Amino acid sequence: MKLTFCGASREVTGSCYVLETATKKMVIDCGLFQGQRIAEQQNFEDFPFDPASIDVLFITHAHLDHCGRIPKLVRDGFRGRIIATKPTARLAQLILEDSVDILEHEARRHQHEPIFSLEDFEQTVTQFEETSYRTPITLDSDTTVEFFDAGHILGSSSIRITAEGKSIVFSGDLGNCPAPILNSTDMIGEADYIVMESTYGGRTHEDKKTRTLLLQSAIYEIATMKGVLMIPAFAMERTQELLFELNNLTNNKDIPPVPIFLDSPLAIKATEVFRDSIEYFNLETQEIIRKGDDIFQFPNLHNTLTPQESKKIHDIPAPKIIIAGSGMAQGGRIVHHIEDYISFFANQYLIVGFQVNGSLGRRLLEGKKEISVNGKPFPVKAKVRAIGAYSAHADQNALLKWVGGFNQKQLRKIFITHGEEEQAEILAGNIRQVVQADVSIPELFSSVDL
């Protein structure tokens, strides 16, 4: 069994791993590299393997840094199976279709060909197959695969592959549990090897109760100052968690009645996938829905699907709340709202998710006093805040708990990936104190025989 690290090694984006056995060649995730641009130069390079030789691709979840290069893989010759949970398959197809126009626009702006076309996306859709949690998939007499609930976003998975008498678990992105909507992360228990994310390997999140108070505080402040609260939110999970939270706050009259705009076509469509996937929700949320509460719709919430509706938000007097993509401000409608509102003291920019190094969101998080948007300078006068507890990623404590749940006598080696180098190093050091297995942080394109 041979494992090659083709992305997310000593960085957060571009997840992609190749696992070869005597009978199968498999890829786990095929994500975009993301930084200052949604399409970094790395995405245009040839894969370090022959896409036509791959038998099957497994997708842990539907974020671009895990699924964004699948149509390129298909364009380059991959015609094998693409296997994911039902929600992941549906959400991935939404986000990939949405990214076609974004990538084409960026390609024109930078005078190069897009990474993939609409035709590549349409071929990709035909190759998807759906699976369920904890249902073994038999690839051949020697190879079985099982998906487990990662608790990160709807349908997110950790994946265990067993072949040649050994098993390896790919964590995917692990969730920040307990989450308001989803079930908690599965404790898998049995594995010889683990490929493990480390996004927040050196950090701990605020208490869940604290995040609600911080959100309330931001809303009361902009209501008092007649300002605008901008929330750059990822279309999947973060947006739905915010809607769930705002629904509760509205129902309980814990926030003033200000208009709230969900200004993201992708998030609006993704929310419909959530509505059709109630069986993936935790029992508490299912019970709330059974009692008649539409957790994603409440008074003062307005879905602005079309560009014309989005532009009209500017004409609505403050105070108001705008939830818009993209989550790292690398594109999407949030960029236009930043241009309109970031230079006014009464306004706030509330970060509720990870901001990759080099992104506009990261520069705002780091406290830059002036930013450039579409080539124009803007002074940053709005208050910039961040609530780590809204992250969908497990923090250091949760990561250590998850890896500690494996059979320590069986576990042989842990590979730390999907984290900036400092975060990966901190997590690796902490894991070495609690497990006996070897722990390493692989280099990009390195291979190891298991």
Query: Is residue 279 over pLDDT 90?
Result: yes
CATH of domain 2-203+392-449: 3.60.15.10
The reported pLDDT for the residue numbered 335 is: 95
Task: For 67-122, write each residue's pLDDT tens digit.
Answer: 999 999 999 999 999 999 999 999 999 999 998 988 887 778 778 889 999 999 99
Which residues are bridge partners to 182 per DSSP? 281
438-441 contact pairs (CB < 8 A, 24+): 438/412, 438/413, 438/414, 439/413, 439/414, 440/413, 440/414, 440/415, 440/416, 441/9, 441/10, 441/415, 441/416, 441/417
Question: What's the mean pLDDT when you consider all of the chain?
Answer: 94
Question: By percentage, how much of the chain surpasses pLDDT 90?
Answer: 85
Please report which confidence band the pLDDT of residue 37 belongs to, taking 50, 70 and 90 as the band edges: low
Beta carbons within 8 Å of 333's beta carbon, 6+ residues apart:
263, 264, 310, 324, 325
Task: For 377-392, write each residue's pLDDT tens digit.
Answer: 999 999 999 988 888 8
Sequence ranges of the domains in the chain: 2-203+392-449, 208-390
Across the range 49-72, mean pLDDT stands at 97
Task: For 207-231, write each residue's pLDDT tens digit.
Answer: 877 889 999 999 999 999 999 999 9
Task: For 304-329, write each residue's pLDDT tens digit.
Answer: 999 999 999 999 999 999 999 988 99
The reported pLDDT for the residue numbered 39 is: 47
In terms of Cβ atoms closer than 10 Å to its own Cβ (0-12, 13-18, 19+), residue 294 is exposed
Which residues are bridge partners to 263 per DSSP? 324
Task: For 283-299, write each residue's pLDDT tens digit.
Answer: 999 999 999 999 999 99
Written as one string, the DSSP assignment of 254-283 is -S----EEEE-HHHHHHHHHHHT-GGGB-H
The reported pLDDT for the residue numbered 111 is: 81
**Same CATH fold assignment for domains 2-203+392-449 and 208-390:** no
The reported pLDDT for the residue numbered 425 is: 97
Element (H, E) at 393: none
The reported pLDDT for the residue numbered 36 is: 53
- Selected from 3.40.50.2000, 3.40.50.10890, 3.40.50.1460, 3.40.50.880, the CATH number assigned to the domain covering 208-390 reads 3.40.50.10890
The number of C-alpha atoms within 13 Å of 340 and in the hemisphere containing its C-beta is: 19
Please report which confidence band the pLDDT of residue 34 belongs to, taking 50, 70 and 90 as the band edges: confident
Written as one string, the DSSP assignment of 192-215 is SEEEEE-TBTT--PPPHHHHHHHH
Task: For 407-440, write each residue's pLDDT tens digit.
Answer: 999 999 999 999 999 999 999 999 999 898 999 9
